Chain A
Amino acid sequence: MFRSRTQKTILMFVASGGCALASMYAGTGFAADAQAGNIWGAQIKVSRDDVGIERDGQRFPGLVGARLREKDIIRTGEKGSVGIMFTDNSTLSMGPDSEVVLRRYAYDSTTYMGAFDAYIKRGNVSLQTGNIAKQTPEAMRMFTPKAELSGTAKNYVVSVGE
């Protein structure tokens, strides 16, 4: 079938998904919110198939109910998806093979002042902005490797390739 070794090698590279390595995470079985105390900024409301949280170098399964905070990294596997609600009522949901870093999250529920920066490293993400952006649009920013997104938008979707 293959006329040369080179062609075979190229095809095998494509078939092995050289550009789409599945994200792997190791579930430890510990509840991710056990050590979060009262400083959580968000909660996983929807979780399908493989979803993982990385916090301070440790990995946890991203189960429904798990709480999230600043600096957490959320990853979904090839069939995974996750829906997160923040304390300012904004939501962020991720499709498969996606990774988002919650770089900064702070929110004052009395004044609606806060800061919300996330880095969308790869995958598909849907956003609905909440009280932070309503109060101060530039206080909520999404970063991708190629751009910074902000504004008064209430709803948008982001697709980031690798």
Chain B
Amino acid sequence: MNRPLIVLVLSLTVTACAHRDSYVLLPDRGGPAGTLTVKPTEGGLPLKLDQPYQTATSTMSGAFDQSTTNKQDVETRYRAALGATPPALVRFTLYFLEGSDELTPASKRDLEAVMVEIKARPVPDIVVVGHTDRVGLVADNDRLALRRAESFRKRLLQQGMADDAIQTAGRGEREPLVDTADEVPEPRNRRIEILVR
């Protein structure tokens, strides 16, 4: 047999089939990258990646080698997977009149931006959490917080959104944006926080 041809064929086969695993820690936009611990199934010491673009690559023995790659290489190799990442979630806060589930005039104007973001997504799902300030009884504020969240749900339903794509919760006065003493009116705490996903 023709030896060079066999070697070529075998090396092609090996390149195609004996694909090595690799795991790459990527940078985070919001802060430190954190760490990625790679524990080999076959046993042996775990590898800890703690710098962006550090890579763990599998070897024939089952252990992992550490190396460093770069942004361009990752973007080329993982183009399809990275390209399918769902759009980042967006958060909004809308404010309410005291003791009421009616939006403040300013928040009524902001509503448009929220709706634009929701409508830009093919399958949006929404989380709405209602809050109050510390005026009144805790139990009343729990109800008011939920009413605020529900009023937003109603608005979305009117716009044709599916009921099961909206989750609501009321946190009452437990999670103020601004800490105050009890019974202090605080407009910034009368709010709903909306997560558009």
Contact = CB atoms under 8 A, between A and B. Distances in A.
Nearest to B167: A109
Contact of A124 (B81, B86, B164): B81
Contacts of A82: 84
Given A149-B36, A153-B25, A155-B28, A128 B85 contact: yes
Contacts, number: 177
Interface string B30-57: 1101111111111000001100000010
A19 B84 contact: no
Contacts of A28: none
B13 A14 contact: yes
Interface residues of B, number: 62
Closest 9 CB pairs of A and B: A161-B19, A152-B34, A45-B86, A95-B80, A19-B17, A95-B81, A155-B26, A81-B84, A154-B28
Contacts of B25: 153, 155-156
A1 to B, nearest CB: 10
B83 A81 contact: yes
A148 B37 CA distance: 8
A74 B42 CA distance: 26
Nearest to B83: A81
B62 to A, nearest CB: 7
B197 interface: yes
A156 B24 contact: yes
A126 interface: yes
B13 A154 contact: no
A13 B6 CA distance: 13
Contacts of B36: 149-151, 153, 156
Given A93-B86, A150-B37, A155 B81 contact: no
Contacts of A109: 127, 167, 169
B9 A7 contact: yes
B21 interface: yes
B87 interface: yes
A34 interface: no
Interface string A127-162: 010000000010000001111111111111111111
Most buried by B among A10, A18, A157: A157
Given A125-B81, A160-B21, 10 more contacts: A11-B9, A46-B84, A64-B122, A94-B81, A110-B169, A149-B37, A153-B33, A155-B27, A156-B24, A156-B36
